[in-house]
Copies of this chain bind each other. A is one copy, B any other.
Amino acid sequence: MINRLIEKIRATGAPVVVGLDPMLDYIPEKIRRDAYKEFGETLEGAAEAIWQYNKGIVDAVWDLIPAVKPQIAMYEQFGIPGLSAYKRTVDYCRGKGLVVIGDVKRGDIGSTSAAYAAGHLGKVQVGSKICTGFDVDFATVNPYLGSDGVKPFLKVCEQEKKGIFVLVKTSNPSSGEFQDQLVDGRPLYELVGEKVAQWGKDLMGDGYSYVGAVVGATYPEMGKTLRRLMPETFILVPGYGAQGGKGADLVPFFNPDGLGAIVNSSRGIIAAYKQEKYAAFGEENYADASRAAVLDMIADISGALERRQEEP
């Protein structure tokens, strides 16, 4: 799957992933009204509004990008109907040929982590039959519990040729509270990064491992260090746009081959129509605004990467 992700990045020229993290107040009034009319002001109504909103965005941007990253929390808050909208979104995006990164940040131990891995990336056996739960291409994983928590995911990645992105240095302001603590003079996130590189060694695609890392765009200096520590690790970079990261900040996350990272933007794309820059599209053309924002994001990042190439 890492090979397919890279192929698609090359084909689109876009090391970009659109975060499908719908909040009800991003969703145009009309979509919400129609959904509530059909399903009431219920979890089902919210789920329908989310699904219609997502579908509009995916239909408008799918040909420009290699991947999407639905954030499961935004669906899970609406209980079972919300998770059904997550599943529907995942299936629809895979049907469009997009690589789907399930941003689930799961992590537990032993058989519990194995259950998460089976449910999100793998298969389960029911009697004599094989079934799938959510079936995404990549999942994000929290490493706090150590190797016991990650290994069951590695096993499923090997079987299914899928991948994970392990949280190393997250984009939020307080991520340093634990992640930056010095261990033998080096921050904990470096230790986690080294583990990620080690976990990934036996699960190599062509050039990059099935085991990736999450490193926030808001910490470019740390990105530079981690890029060096994990040369064969693909880095998923959240924090672009709404969280403050810019194209030029992202260069250190990429290898000289122009690969090695994929940059996520969520609100900056899916709620683009709410920004002054794209306000002229109007609420009813929210998906066209998202398309314009994707094109601008690709230009910003590609431009920054090209400028690096030109520098001596």
* Interfacial residues, chain A to chain B (CB-CB below 8 A): 21, 23-24, 32, 36, 40-43, 45-46, 71, 73-74, 76-80, 82-84, 87, 105-113, 115-116, 118-120, 124-129, 131-134, 142-149, 167, 170-179, 181-184, 188, 191-192, 195
- List the B residue with the shortest CB-CB distance to A167: B144
Q: How many copies does the complex hold?
A: 2
- The answer to whether A77 touches B21 (Cβ under 8 A) is no
Complex: A79 Cα to B104 Cα, angstroms: 13
- The answer to whether A188 touches B181 (Cβ under 8 A) is yes
How far is the CB of A211 from the nearest CB of chain B, in Å? 15
Q: A178 to chain B: which residues have CB within 8 Å?
A: 143-144, 146, 188, 191-192
- The answer to whether B172 touches A124 (Cβ under 8 A) is no
Q: Which 9 A-B pairs have the closest CB atoms?
A: A79-B133, A41-B127, A77-B119, A146-B174, A146-B177, A41-B129, A109-B172, A73-B115, A77-B115
Complex: A118 Cα to B23 Cα, angstroms: 13
- The answer to whether A175 touches B118 (Cβ under 8 A) is no
Q: A125 to chain B: which residues have CB within 8 Å?
A: 24
Q: A182 to chain B: which residues have CB within 8 Å?
A: 183-184
Q: A74 to chain B: which residues have CB within 8 Å?
A: 112, 115
Complex: A178 Cα to B196 Cα, angstroms: 12
How far is the CB of A114 from the nearest CB of chain B, in Å? 8
Complex: A120 Cα to B76 Cα, angstroms: 8
